[in-house]
Amino acid sequence: MTIEFSVSKRQLEMREAIRGLTKNVIRPQSLAWDRAHGVPEDFLRNFAQLATSMGSSAMRSGLGEEKGQQEKTGGNVGTIMASEEIAWGDAGLLLCLPGPGLGGPPVRGSGTDEQKERFFGIFKDMSGPLRWGAYGLTEPGAGSDVAGIRTSCRKDGDYWALSGRKCYITNGARASWTVIFATIDPALGRAGHRAFVVEKGTPGFSVGRIEEKMGLRASETAELVLEDCRVPAANLLGGEEKYQTKEGFMTAMKTFDNTRPIVAAMALGIGRAAFEYATDFVRSNYALQRHTPRYAAIAERLARIGRNLHAARMMTWRAAFMADQGMPNAKEASMSKAMGGQAAIRACIEAIEVCGAEGTIAKDHQLLEKWFRDIKVYDIFEGTGQIQRIVISKRIMTDLRAF
């Protein structure tokens, strides 16, 4: 078991650079983006170009870098560190950055060389129109229960015909292509699943409603509709031979091993923002050095928030480190997601309680109210907290050496 891992000087320098950017540029615009339900494209373009010059994969939304790129971008650990810092400024921004987004890992992990070149190639030109990729798994009746997807696919000559609905798809309406999961027969469970790259403009592929959300309002979340959508056989992710065994689907599902720690890091960014806000509020309004039960209780609450966030961060960094080393990290990825989401949610709840009425009513405190709205989804998407605990328990029960 690997216990030690280190953070490089380059990764620390990158984190400090992003921290300054988020404090001075992103955080001041966060409320305006929330109210406008979007980030201006000029800002996204400039930010993406800056990210390219800084070499941050998180800022370029290029999740799950190839090994040859890790030294340049900081790998998964660098992505985790950058994700927390950007989410500290505005979590919605990270979700709407141009690039392959959550669609990147399955294409990178399962796609053929030709598919990687074709689908990633559109993101190389930063001077042209902004482009996004998306990831379409969730359905009205199947989210965390992946085996329950009902979007159908059937082979029809040189095409596959897809029919079904996908919901809560980040950047779904503006994506140039979306990785869509479908099944040849629901009775087959995961053995019947197939993953396709469906390109915008494909006949039978349309956008349904754009969701009105409680939090993360700056990001776009859409419903996608497939009605006898004819997708070229060349867009079956990995080619048909991949699906002769479970390898094709399981490789695509490894997306979660990369993205769950990123989601955890984003949650920790929001939780840390609320924790720091509450701490500053208490320092300005209370004299905690007074030995009274009330002040001791407040100090204990802040200490509990801080240590829970720190513990979750260490778990998240370890999951990312294992991915960079090519080590299986499904259990650790689920642990980081479960711990990060819960620690951040508690941080936001406790921060509001510590600040009292001023935390939600006073105009100067509206960021705290926004973080409270934003954080809830981090215990839901990329697999609910309940699902993470099931994954963790299964791993423990099947491997007595898990600890």
Q: Which residue has the higher pLDDT, 140 or 50?
A: 140
Query: 3-class DSSP state for residue 293?
Result: helix
Q: Specify the domain boundaries for CATH 2.40.110.10 within the chain.
A: 132-248
Q: From the candidates 65, 220, 332, 382, which is the catalytic residue?
A: 382
Pair 99, 133: CB distance under 8 Å: yes
Q: Domain 252-398 maps to which CATH number in 3.30.1060.10, 1.20.140.10, 3.40.50.740, 3.20.20.80?
A: 1.20.140.10
382 is catalytic: yes
235 backbone dihedrals φ, ψ, rounded to 5°? -100, 5
228 pLDDT tier (thresholds 50, 70, 90): very high
Q: What is the CATH number of domain 132-248?
A: 2.40.110.10
Computed over every residue of the chain, the mean pLDDT equals 86
Q: Which residue has the higher pLDDT, 321 or 1?
A: 321
The reported pLDDT for the residue numbered 214 is 93
pLDDT at 151 over 60: yes
Query: 3-class DSSP state for residue 361?
Result: coil
List the alpha helices (DSSP H) in 356-384: 366-375
The reported pLDDT for the residue numbered 275 is 96
Pairing mode, strands 133-136 and 177-183: parallel
pLDDT at 69 over 60: no
Interior CA angle at 255 toward 12 and 397, to 5°? 100
Of 10-24, 153-167, 352-366, least confident by mean pLDDT is 352-366
The reported pLDDT for the residue numbered 67 is 47
pLDDT at 401 over 80: no
The percentage of the chain sitting over the pLDDT mark of 70, rounded to a whole number, equals 85
Q: Specify the domain boundaries for CATH 1.10.540.10 within the chain.
A: 9-104
The dihedral region occupied by 197, where left means phi > 0, alpha psi between -120 and 50, and beta the remainder, is beta
Mean pLDDT of 360-365: 59
- 9-104 is classed CATH 3.40.50.150: no
Q: For residues 149 and 166, what is the distance between their CA atoms, to the nearest angstrom?
A: 9
Q: Specify the domain boundaries for CATH 1.20.140.10 within the chain.
A: 252-398
The reported pLDDT for the residue numbered 249 is 60
